[in-house]
Amino acid sequence: MVRLMKRTSNLPRPARWLWAMPNLALICFLAVGVALLLFIRNNERQRQHDELVEAVLWQDRALRAELTARQKQLEGMAHDLVRGDISEGAFYGRAADIMTSSPEVLAIAYTNEFGDAVWSYPAQSMAPLQMVPAVIEPLQRSARIGIASSTPPFDFPGAGQAVALSFPAVQGNRTLGAFVAIVSLKGLLRNYVPWWIAKRFQLGIVNLDGDTLAARPEQPLPDAGPLSYDVALDPPGYGLRLRARIFLTGWPLWQHALYWVLAGLSALMLWSLWVLKRHMRERLTAERAMLREMNMRQALEDSLVSGVFATDREGRTLHVNPAFCRMVGFEAEELLGGTPPFPYWAPETTNQCAQIFAAILRGECPMNGFSLRYQRKSGERFDVRLYSSPLIDGEGRHTGWVASMTDVTELKREREALKASHERFVAVLNGLDAAVAVTDRRNGELLLSNRAFREAFRLTAPDGPLCALPLRHADPGGEWFDPVLGRWYQHHRRETLWVDQSRVWLDIATDVSERKQAADRERQQTEKLQQTARLIAMGEIASSLAHELNQPLAAISSYSTACRNLVASRQLRPEELDGALDKISEQARRAGAIIRGIREFVQKREPKRSVCRVGDLLDTVLSLLAAPLNRHFVRLVEIRVADDTELFADRVMLEQVLFNLCKNAIEAMVEGPQERCELTVETRTRGDWLDMIVADRGPGIASDDVEKLFRPFYTTKAEGMGMGLNICRTIVEHHQGRLAVEAREGGGSRFVVSLPLATQPIFKETEHHAV
Ligand code: ADP
């Protein structure tokens, strides 16, 4: 199934500064907010400070006015005293009035010039002050020198810190005394600080050392700072200062709220910005991934070699890929929106194309797809294989059909060529007489066999497991007899690579039964001929045999005569008789050996090897040649330098070889002049080889005829058989030797028998056929 997706354009990468802008805006917003808050706060502080200063100054004026008013009242009493208008009783009345109207006044007294109270209200109120020189001295001074004065603050019992104001009563140049009023500092503050100041500020009177003497509310006042302000309080002077401090040092509530709202908003902004950024980043990543995916799909589609086309459910062409356009030779624009019959349907296959297209629209598609023939725009036909499947859009709706198409023209052509080649191969293979089989090396499964193989081994199927069993135990490279079929096979086996690169056995078995029978027949024939040749040779040596036998028989006869003479002479010595009898039996054995040798020579026999002396071998042959040599007046030259050399050979066979060569040499010289009739027999060793040479002075052998000599039945003689040299060579080669012929210097020919000097068996007798 295929899903259609829309392509997207390349996504622009957002600039870095664009990402930084919201952060920057937020930072600016925060900075402005904080600056604004600080500005408001400073303004507020400044305003408060101004109010503080204003309040302190106002309060200072108010207190001074009150103190001045008390002094005025004392002054009034002093004037009345001078005029004589005041008596002690009037003094008490006026003092009581003043203290009632001014509660901060603790006591009022009239003192003499020594500071002793003349009148005091309440009574004895001045007594404690007598003990305090710092207070009493200014009072005495005021009364003595007649000036208004005040005292430093002192502790008045039961009323805290207080100061005393004095005003002298002066008559002319004489001072009558002084009126004193003791004023409570706490009382001053309690009575003359208005509510609107007391609500917002703490007010107090401090001395030079900064100690709080009186305060409202009663708390020590801190040293001067940005939130406090003080001024000198005079009277009474003495370094006393009026100090005020602002109560509300923190921000007002609304400012706090504003601050927190601002902070909260900033945090919210920051969080929403972070969330937004993360979301954007995720979205951007997703979009990029999608774009990559789309580009990848597009690249895949563009590089596809299979043609792809999609139709809607009614068969209208929706999409064709570049490979499809290349195949049919039309542009995509020519095909999109098209309906059947399509321009790439060949006229002769229109019906088939229409049927297949209808099947596609019905959703039918066989496993192997559809095979049909289209035409290119140029008119050229091409074969395609087509597979279809439903087209499902992004929402999972079935919107049409999509088909992929492969150009199989070349493939088809190749397949046909391959098929033809395979058929030719099978025809050739089946035409072979040899049985051919290919088997799996691992399990012996027959992978391929030809007709000859199946016929030979009665196989019905061309292959199958373990069908090559007949050849499994055959000796590769040798001949093999099938006991079931009674046939001989020449079997070759080779390991080779099979089409799937596995290792297989290639067995080729050629039926050699016919050839083998022919060879057997030929061998039997040759054996018969050889036997005949021996019989003929026997006739030739019959006279030699007679001559040979003559000697031992004559010797036996003469020894037996001698024995008889010895017996008749009656002077018989047993040792003489023993010696003669030994000689007789020795000669008899010799005669017997000659006869046995002839018999063996004639008989057909198996080769029989033993250690034999070269000298003995030559003796036997030359004794057999005595008769022909004599008959034809041939001289014998013997050069025997290797008589003691030993061979491991079949002595009789080698005697036959030498006899044949010598006989041929004699016969070659028969026609020649008498003086040249000379047979040379020579033996010599050459390294590990023994050479036995038979040379004559006959006509020699033309170089063209050299090879012919050894062929069977080649003869130039009227009664010859032409088998002699052939048998000689067979025997010599049977002993791993060589038989060669060459022209002899001075005329004639030279036959050389070369044999290896071995005294041990060098091969198995039974492996070879008898000659
Ligand atoms: P055969 O003696 O029955 O002819 P051989 O095989 O012994 O058969 O010899 C084959 C032929 O080789 C002879 O017919 C003869 O022509 C030639 N031949 C053999 N030995 C000699 C030789 N020593 N000199 C010349 N020719 C020879």
Question: What's the 364 CA to ligand 1 centre distance in angstroms?
Answer: 93
pLDDT level of residue 492 (50, 70, 90 thresholds): confident
Sign of the CA dihedral 429, 430, 436, 442?
positive
The model's pLDDT over 44-98, given as tens digits with 9 standing for 90+, comes to: 888 888 988 999 999 999 998 998 898 898 889 888 888 888 888 888 999 999 9
Check whether 465 has a pLDDT greater than 60: no
Closest CA to 635 of 612, 596, 604, 669: 669
Check whether 2 has a pLDDT greater than 60: no
Tell me the CA distances in angstroms from 520 to 514, 527, 732, 769, one per residue in order. 10, 11, 22, 11
Question: How would you write 104-151 as a 3-class SS string?
Answer: CEEEEEEECCCCCEEEEECCCCCHHHHHCHHHHHHHHHHHHHCCCEEC
Closest CA to 635 of 668, 693, 676: 676
- What does the pLDDT average to over 414-428? 90
Check whether 768 has a pLDDT greater than 60: no
- What does the pLDDT average to over 558-587? 83
Question: What's the 681 CA to ligand 1 centre distance in angstroms?
Answer: 17
Residue nearest (by alpha carbon) to ligand 1 atom 13: 715
| 709, 750, 752, best to mutate for ligand 1 pocket (most atoms within 8 Å of CB) | 709
CB distance 696 to ligand 1 below 6 Å: yes
Distance CA 392, CA 423 (A): 47
For the CA of 668, the nearest atom of ligand 1: 24
DSSP secondary structure string, 176-208? EEEEEEEEEHHHHHHHHS-HHHHTTEEEEEE-T
Question: What's the 715 CA to ligand 1 centre distance in angstroms?
Answer: 6
Hey, do 44-249 and 304-407 end up sharing a CATH topology, with the first three levels equal? Answer: yes
CB distance 720 to ligand 1 below 6 Å: yes
308, 328 in Cβ contact below 8 A?
Answer: no
The model's pLDDT over 397-407, given as tens digits with 9 standing for 90+, comes to: 999 999 999 98
CB distance 112 to ligand 1 below 6 Å: no
How far, rounded to the nearest angstrom, does the alpha carbon of residue 379 sit from its chain's CA centroid?
Answer: 50
Distance CA 603, CA 594 (A): 14
pLDDT level of residue 453 (50, 70, 90 thresholds): confident
pLDDT level of residue 607 (50, 70, 90 thresholds): low
Classify domain 524-756 at the CATH superfamily level.
Answer: Histidine kinase-like ATPase, C-terminal domain (3.30.565.10)
Q: What percent of the chain has pLDDT over 90?
A: 28
CB distance 714 to ligand 1 below 6 Å: yes
* E-strand stretches of 606-710: 610-613, 635-640, 646-649, 678-686, 689-695
Tell me the CA distances in angstroms from 630 to 113, 288, 543, 623, 677, one per residue in order. 215, 123, 11, 12, 11
Domain ranges for the chain, please list them: 2-41+266-296, 44-249, 304-407, 414-511, 524-756
Print burial letters for 431-467: b (CB count within 10 Å at least 16), e (below 16): eeebbbbbbbeeeebbbbbbbbbbebbebeeebeeeb
Distant-in-sequence, close-in-space partners of 95: CB < 8 Å, separation ≥ 6:
108, 121
For the CA of 699, the nearest atom of ligand 1: 25
CB distance 672 to ligand 1 below 6 Å: no
Distance CA 325, CA 327 (A): 5
pLDDT of 145 reads 83
What does the longest C-alpha to C-alpha distance in the chain come to? 242
CB distance 717 to ligand 1 below 6 Å: yes
**304-407 CATH:** 3.30.450.20
Print burial letters for 160-181: b (CB count within 10 Å at least 16), e (below 16): bbbbbbbbbbbeeeebbbbbbb
- What does the pLDDT average to over 227-232? 86
For the CA of 714, the nearest atom of ligand 1: 10
pLDDT level of residue 751 (50, 70, 90 thresholds): very high
pLDDT level of residue 6 (50, 70, 90 thresholds): very low
375, 381 in Cβ contact below 8 A?
Answer: yes
Question: What's the 749 CA to ligand 1 centre distance in angstroms?
Answer: 11
pLDDT of 520 reads 85
The model's pLDDT over 114-142, given as tens digits with 9 standing for 90+, comes to: 778 889 888 888 887 777 788 888 888 88
pLDDT of 342 reads 93
pLDDT of 400 reads 92
CB distance 188 to ligand 1 below 6 Å: no
**44-249 CATH:** 3.30.450.20
Closest CA to 552 of 600, 523, 589, 519: 589
pLDDT of 7 reads 46
pLDDT level of residue 463 (50, 70, 90 thresholds): low
Residue nearest (by alpha carbon) to ligand 1 atom 20: 664
- What does the pLDDT average to over 438-464? 79
CB distance 721 to ligand 1 below 6 Å: yes
Question: What's the 102 CA to ligand 1 centre distance in angstroms?
Answer: 190
3 state DSSP class of 670 = coil
pLDDT level of residue 8 (50, 70, 90 thresholds): very low
β-partners of residue 686 are 689
The model's pLDDT over 696-723, given as tens digits with 9 standing for 90+, comes to: 999 999 888 888 898 878 899 887 778 7
Strand-pair category, 678-686 with 635-640: parallel
- What does the pLDDT average to over 650-676? 90
**Sheet arrangement for strand 317-320:** 317-320, 307-312, 398-407, 381-392, 370-375
Distant-in-sequence, close-in-space partners of 403: CB < 8 Å, separation ≥ 6:
308, 309, 310, 360, 386, 387, 388, 389
The model's pLDDT over 18-44, given as tens digits with 9 standing for 90+, comes to: 777 877 888 888 888 888 888 988 888
pLDDT of 316 reads 94
615, 640 in Cβ contact below 8 A?
Answer: yes
Check whether 393 has a pLDDT greater than 70: yes
Distant-in-sequence, close-in-space partners of 485: CB < 8 Å, separation ≥ 6:
456
Residue nearest (by alpha carbon) to ligand 1 atom 16: 716
Check whether 764 has a pLDDT greater than 50: no
| Look-up of token digits 């990543």 | 285
For the CA of 696, the nearest atom of ligand 1: 23
Chain-wide mean pLDDT for the chain?
84
CB distance 724 to ligand 1 below 6 Å: yes
pLDDT of 521 reads 87
For the CA of 719, the nearest atom of ligand 1: 3
pLDDT of 700 reads 92
In the chain, the amino acid numbered 508 is: I
| 529, 536, 725, 726, best to mutate for ligand 1 pocket (most atoms within 8 Å of CB) | 725
Most confident option among 332-346, 430-444, 502-516: 332-346
Tell me the CA distances in angstroms from 63 to 95, 166, 208, 578, one per residue in order. 20, 17, 19, 198
The model's pLDDT over 79-92, given as tens digits with 9 standing for 90+, comes to: 888 888 888 888 89
Q: What percent of the chain has pLDDT over 70?
A: 89
pLDDT of 605 reads 56
Check whether 469 has a pLDDT greater than 60: no
Q: Give the residue with greater pLDDT, 542 vs 292.
A: 292
Class (C level, CATH) for 414-511: alpha beta
Distance CA 265, CA 268 (A): 5
Phi, psi of 671 (to 5 degrees): -75, -20
How far, rounded to the nearest angstrom, does the alpha carbon of residue 22 sit from its chain's CA centroid?
Answer: 47
Residue 399: Cβ within 10 Å count: 18
